[in-house]
Structures are given as C-alpha cells and as structure tokens.
C-alpha cells in the first residue's frame, strides 16, 4: 500500500469517526431535549393537580361548614315545633301553671340539644374574676369580705363551645 493510499484511507476513517461523533452528539442533544420535555410535562401536570386539589379542598371546606350548620338546625327543629305548640296552647289554656310547665319542658329540651352539640354554660357566680372568660361591666361594693374581687352578679351568661369561648360572661365584680 502506498503512502498516498494510506493517507486517503486514514482521512476516510477520520471522516467516518467525525460523522459518528456528530451523530452521537445529535443523539445526546435529542435525548436531553426529550428528558427536558418530559420534566416540563411532569411539572405542568403536577402543578395542575395541585391547583385542582386546592380548589377541591376549598369547596369541601365550604360544604362542611354549610352542612355542619344544617345538622344543628335539623336538631333544633323539634324544639321549634315544641315552641309552636306551647304558643298555641297558651292562647287556649285557662291555667297559667300548665303553660309555665310547657315552657319549662321546651327550655330544658332546647338546653339539652345545645349541650349535645357541645355548648356549655360558664359557671362564674361567686368565682374569682378571670379576664380570659369574663368581661367586667362594673364593680359594686362586695356584700361580704369573701366576695371581694369575685363575681357577684351575672348580666349576660358566657358559653363555651367544645371548650372554646363562644361568648364572654358579662359580670359585676365585688370591691
């Protein structure tokens, strides 16, 4: 083989290697582009799923609040019916005593229904004043020494709902 033939063949081999390297680079770029496209697609789907999740949980929260109110109202309807019956019986009843008994029964039923829903009345009369649960409206001279800085009268009862204050008690404190 002559030197010229050897160089021609050598040049031909280098061209083949360059073409192979170029094809390999294109293949690597295509793979990287494909991976990037897949990652972008995955990101877009994940973002859409999260957005849908936020919307769904927001709707569920609103539905839960509305249905919780519906539950309480449904449990209070029998008490409303009892009040209607009591009002109707007051018009026809000659005895005030039977009306008082009926109203007492309805009141007890109403309070029991509220207690079942988690409502609890604050017992503050005669207790030391506590600003976390009570609102002092005014002070008055204490009737006895042991009632100083204690609640001597309750103007408006306070209530807890599942151990959280729903309404503070409005009280008068002895000085």
HSE at residue 20, side-chain half, CA atoms within 13 A, is: 6
Per-residue pLDDT of the chain (175 residues; tens, 9 = 90+): 556 555 555 555 566 556 656 666 678 888 999 999 999 999 999 999 999 999 999 999 988 887 777 888 888 898 889 888 888 888 887 888 888 888 889 999 999 999 998 999 999 999 999 999 999 999 999 888 888 889 999 999 999 999 899 999 999 999 8
Residue 91: inside a domain: no
Q: Give the model's pLDDT for residue 67.
A: 78
Residue position matching structure tokens 């390999």: 24
- Domain with 140, as residue range(s), is 120-175
HSE at residue 172, side-chain half, CA atoms within 13 A, is: 9
Can you give the CATH number for the domain in which 133 is found? 2.30.22.10
**Residue 80 Cα distances to 25, 106, 113, 157, angstroms:** 82, 9, 12, 22
Q: Residue 159 forms beta bridges with which residues?
A: 121, 167
Q: Give the model's pLDDT for residue 59.
A: 93
Structurally, the chain folds into a number of domains equal to 1
* pTM of this structure: 0.59
Sheet of 134-140, strands arranged across: 134-140, 169-174, 151-156
Sign of CA dihedral 149, 155, 160, 165: negative
Give the whole-angstrom CA distance, residue 129 versus residue 44.
58
Residue 155: inside a domain: yes
Q: Give the model's pLDDT for residue 14.
A: 63
**Residue 14 Cα distances to 5, 27, 28, 123, 154, angstroms:** 14, 20, 21, 98, 102
Q: Are 130 and 147 in contact (CB under 8 A)?
A: no
- 123 DSSP assignment: -
Other Cβ atoms within 10 Å of 107 Cβ, number:
14
Residue 120: strand, helix, or coil: strand
Residue 71: inside a domain: no
Residue 143: inside a domain: yes
Give the whole-angstrom CA distance, residue 143 versus residue 126.
11
Rounding to the nearest 10 degrees, give the CA dihedral for residues 114, 118, 119, 125. 130
Residue 115: inside a domain: no
Residue 173: inside a domain: yes
Residue 107: inside a domain: no
Residue 159: inside a domain: yes
């Amino acid at each position: 083989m002559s030197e010229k033939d050897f160089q021609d063949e050598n040049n031909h081999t280098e061209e083949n290697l360059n073409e192979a390297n170029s094809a390999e680079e294109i293949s690597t770029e295509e793979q990287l582009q494909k991976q990037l496209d897949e990652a972008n697609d995955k990101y877009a789907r994940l973002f859409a799923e999260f957005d849908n999740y936020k919307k769904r949980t927001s709707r569920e929260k609103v539905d839960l609040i509305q249905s919780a109110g519906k539950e309480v109202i449904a449990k209070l309807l029998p008490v409303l019916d009892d009040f209607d019956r009591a009002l109707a019986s007051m018009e026809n009843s000659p005895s005030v005593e039977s009306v008082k008994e009926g109203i007492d029964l309805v009141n007890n039923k109403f309070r029991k229904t509220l207690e079942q829903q988690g409502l609890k009345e604050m017992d503050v009369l005669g207790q030391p004043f506590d600003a976390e649960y009570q609102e002092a409206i005014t002070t008055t001279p204490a009737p006895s020494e042991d009632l100083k800085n204690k609640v001597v009268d309750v103007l408006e009862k306070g209530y807890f709902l599942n151990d959280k204050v729903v309404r503070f008690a409005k009280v008068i404190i002895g000085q």
